[in-house]
Amino acid sequence: MDDYAAVLAMLNHTWFGAELSPETQERLAKLGEVQDFEADEVILHEGDDAKEMGILISGRLALRTLVPERGPVTILSVEQGDIFGWSAVLADTQAQSTVVATQPSRALVIEGTKLRAALKEDHALAASLYPRVLKAVARRLRATRLQLLDLFAR
Amino acid sequence: MITSPAPSQTAPARQWFLARQDLDELIQAIRATGRRVIGPTIRESAIVYDEIQTAADLPAGWRDEQSAGRYRLERRSDDQVFGYTVGPTSWKRFTFPPNLTIATAHRTSFGFEQQVAEAPPVAFLGVRACEIAALAIQDRVFLGSQFTDEDYRARRAAAFIVAVQCTTSSSTCFCTSMGTGPEVRDGYDIMLTEIEDGFVIQAGSPGGAAIVAKLPTRRPSHAEAGAAVDNVESVRTQMGEPLPMAGIGERLKLQLDHPRWIQVADRCVECGNCTMACPTCFCTSVVERSDLDGKTSSTERQWDSCFDVAFAKVAGGDFRARPRDRYRQWLTHKFSTWWDQFESSGCVGCGRCIAWCPVRIDVREELAAIAPPIPPVVHPVAVTPVAASPGTYSVARLGSVRAETEDTTTLSLTDLDPAFLSGRPGQFVMVALPAFPGVPISISRFRADHIDLTIRAVGPTSTALVNLHPGAKVGLRGPLGTFWPIEEAYGRHAVVVAGGVGLSPLHGLVDALVANHERFESVSLFYGSRTPEDQLFRDDLAAWSASKAIDVAVTVDRAGPEWKGRVGVVTTLFDMISWDCSKVTAFVVGPERMMQSSVQGLISKGVPADRICVSMERHMECGIGLCGHCQMAGRFVCKDGPVFRLDELGDMFNREGI
């Protein structure tokens, strides 16, 4: 499973990873670890320290937030190729939502401290990765704004 | 208002032949009447209008080579006297001089002495068809309202016009597109058409006839008369297909925010060459000039240009501070608002602004980019609507009722006129109950013996409809409107994007795509709704998802923990698109903002705008374009739509306030 070439191939197959430079893909593959999650497994709790960033290779994750009167509400699903836990790129941040696998899923998970240290030391890695993370966040923000408009409301 | 000299009243005008060697006789005959003759001469490597004394002063044997930003003179292989088009100067400088003293003032007497227009008689030799059109335009500008320019009137009345029909054209000419040439139709005293060894000449006024009578002419042979016609007709052929200028005024008005204004302004150096060379531009400034002791001053009018950086400046600011504003002002004035002011275009297609632009801006290219022709709306009526007139209704019976969601219900209508069954997906019907106003409802499904209407209860009529019981009668008019052009997706990837109740007008289309799936490269449905509970047609969604004929991806804006599917807006589903998007035909319906995001997402992936169809919604009361409510940028959504190709809507799609 941790076969290096297989990890690189998986990474290259994702939206997030495909346009990273080969050097960045290699670095991420070495920094990270492929993890499998079962359906309904909680990967991260809202409010926890943001310890890990993940790139979803297969499956689906739900990002949920708790609304006391309504219970957990799924505000977004993370599909194959997208990232979760991007807050781990920044130090001393908390997870913005609870991340749950809604079906058996596989992700390349990168530990936050190692990732931040690598970004600090390797400027080429930073120059390649930060824009991609920013783009992923921007996509999410655009989509969130549309959700906010509640266009289908009566 | 002075009009151009009246054409000869004899029809057809009598023609004569004047040999080339006798052309000077014409010039001298005109000079003998006391007129200065202004005609084409060569100066500083260009053909400019200046006083001529004899025919030898004319640029016989020369031709011009013109293109955007380029003008060259070259020797011809023959001695044609008028074998070129137009140069940098126009007759405007003689009828509307670049500098004119309009008044003087004397401090000692504190009076203002208006200058009396001095307009010695003059003849313009070599006036082309486009230039005659330009003179007619200037007549409207300076003499066509309650405020007139008397200096222009005097100069215009003093001008004897000898027109010359063009027998050649430059690549910059586009008179055929502006309807101003190449034939000269009227507005002349004498007209010449050059043929191999002379001119076919005809008079257009009594003064012209008097001059022609003095010339050594003879009647032209049949061949000579035919050659004159052919030489001019060949120019029309040389210029090729006219540009699509119909409606350019209105088209430009719709594109005031087009990004091309910025691009062309970045190129433009605002030299004003175009306005100086243009035979119809008329903007001026007034300056005061004083002698050294300040006792006498003169008021001078001089040509100005709307490209000047201070042209629109006032004490409080500048109304057109940016180059893009000034370029837009010039082009929209010339081709659009001139119509509002003077009931004609301001352009005659002479091409001077193109040839004399130092950065090679070609107005024809700019117009094509900024305001391309609006594709004609095709009204392919599948079937003649039933009971089309408001107040008439065809009765149908409610067969069954099915609740889709909490507030949306599908009514199946049966026992109805067969015309309704022959409608096409995308069309709608006007539905009414007694005492309730008619409302437009998309036909969500066509079956052999019934149609489905999927109705969201949002008003009194729709609420009444969803509360009907089977057996009830409803009134229908239709089917109305345009339908989804499913044929345009043959051989391509057919992509359907639906948001919320937008799946209703698309339901019939998806049925058709699935039934004929082998005719498409692939068929996909991307459907977003507010919550899982708000999804329409869940049974059909399940059936389609299970079908190999169509790929279905659904998402919701929000969900509880029991939902295991996608959560996010429908545009996030576009990540699944892996095909060559230039081969996609997309059909999009939903709230307009959702459609706009979807359209943007599709275009960013490479789907061409003319391969995206949307269905628009507007207030409708008649459904047949007579109540005026559903107008959207000149189109009636009820009869020109509701289905539109995106390029038909252009800039108007999702534009505020349209």
Torsion of CA B567, B571, B575, B580, to 10 degrees: 150
Nearest to A31 by CA among A9, A57, A2, A56: A2
In angstroms, the first-to-last Cα distance of chain B is: 40
Break chain A into its structural domains and give their ranges: 4-149
Domain identity same for B411 and B507: no
Domain identity same for B155 and B95: yes
Statement: residue A116 has pLDDT above 90 = yes
pLDDT given at position B335: 96
| Total number of domains constituting chain B | 4
Asked if A75 and B558 come within 8 Å (Cβ–Cβ), the reply is: yes
Mutate to test the interface with B, among A13, A58, A77, A103 (most CBs of B within 10 A): A77
Q: A102: which chain B residues are within 8 Å (Cβ-Cβ)?
A: 564-565
Q: Which of A42-46, B172-176, B620-624 has the lowest mean pLDDT?
A: B620-624
For residues A8-15, give the mean pLDDT.
Answer: 78
| Residue at B157 is within a domain | yes
pLDDT given at position B382: 65
Question: B433, B455, B480 — which closes off a domain?
Answer: B480
Domain identity same for B262 and B224: no
State the pLDDT confidence band at B364, using cuts at 50, 70 and 90. Answer: very high
Asked if A74 and B407 come within 8 Å (Cβ–Cβ), the reply is: no
Task: Show the tokens assigned to A100.
Answer: 């749950």
Asked if B567 and A146 come within 8 Å (Cβ–Cβ), the reply is: no
Contact B370/B404 with Cβ under 8 angstroms? no
Statement: residue B219 has pLDDT above 90 = yes
Which position has the higher pLDDT, B310 or B134? B134
pLDDT given at position B250: 86
Domain identity same for B73 and B118: yes
| Residue at B586 is within a domain | yes
Q: A146: which chain B residues are within 8 Å (Cβ-Cβ)?
A: 569, 571, 593-594, 597
Residue in chain A lying closest to B500 (CA): A152
DSSP B472-483: -EEEEEEEES--
- Best CATH choice for the domain A4-149 from the list 3.30.365.10, 2.60.120.10, 3.20.20.60, 3.40.50.1100: 2.60.120.10
pLDDT given at position A4: 73
How would you class B148 by CB atoms within 10 Å of its CB: exposed for 0-12, middle for 13-18, buried for 19 or more?
middle
Domain identity same for B50 and B121: yes
Q: How far apart are CA B12 and CA B7, in angstroms?
A: 11
**Closest in B500, B558, B566 to A73, CB measured:** B558
Domain identity same for B496 and B569: yes
- Chain A to chain B Cβ contacts (< 8 Å): 79
State the pLDDT confidence band at B377, using cuts at 50, 70 and 90. Answer: low
pLDDT given at position B8: 38
| Residue at B563 is within a domain | yes
The ipTM estimated for the assembled molecules is 0.72
3-state secondary structure string, B119-152?
CCCEEEEEECHHHHHHHHHHHHHHHCCCCCCHHH
Domain identity same for B197 and B314: no
| Residue at B655 is within a domain | no
The structure tokens 């006024």 sit at B205
Residue in chain B lying closest to A146 (CA): B569
State pLDDT tens for residues B629-654. 888 877 888 888 999 999 888 877 87
| Residue range(s) defining the domain that contains residue B451 | 394-480
Q: Which of B412-416, B552-556, B625-629 has the lowest mean pLDDT?
A: B625-629
Domain identity same for B331 and B183: no
For residues B430-453, give the mean pLDDT.
Answer: 91
Statement: residue B289 has pLDDT above 90 = no
Domain identity same for B414 and B437: yes
Statement: residue B11 has pLDDT above 50 = no
State pLDDT tens for residues B84-132. 999 999 999 999 999 998 877 776 666 666 666 678 999 999 999 999 9
Mutate to test the interface with B, among A146, A147, A149 (most CBs of B within 10 A): A146
- Angle at alpha carbon of residue B182, lines to B181 and B183, rounded to 5°: 90
For residues B14-40, give the mean pLDDT.
Answer: 96
Q: How far apart are CA B519 and CA B215, in angstroms?
A: 75
Residue type, B326: R
- Is the pTM for the entire model greater than 0.90? no
Residue in chain B lying closest to A74 (CA): B559
Instruction: Please give the DSSP secondary-structure letter assigned to residue B356.
Output: T
Task: Show the tokens assigned to B551.
Answer: 């790929």
Statement: residue B7 has pLDDT above 50 = no
Spatial CB neighbours of B611, under 8 Å, sequence gap ≥ 6: B488, B492, B584, B585, B586
State pLDDT tens for residues B293-313. 877 888 889 999 999 988 887
DSSP B552-600: EEEEES-B-TT--SEES-GGGGGGG--S-GGGEEEEEESSHHHHHHHHH
**Closest in A15, A64, A76 to B575, CB measured:** A15
pLDDT given at position B380: 53
Nearest to B642 by CA among B456, B428, B451, B376: B428
**Closest in B558, B572, B591 to A74, CB measured:** B558
Domain identity same for B179 and B233: yes
Is beta strand B473-480 parallel, antiparallel or unpaired with respect to B451-456?
unpaired
Q: B535: which chain A residues are within 8 Å (Cβ-Cβ)?
A: none
State the pLDDT confidence band at B328, using cuts at 50, 70 and 90. Answer: very high
**Closest in B456, B529, B557 to A147, CB measured:** B557
pLDDT given at position A1: 44
- Residues β-bridged to residue B403: B409
| Residue at B151 is within a domain | yes
- Residues β-bridged to residue B192: B164, B201
| Residue at B470 is within a domain | yes
Question: B452, B480, B508 — which closes off a domain?
Answer: B480
Task: Report the mean per-residue pLDDT for chain B.
Answer: 90
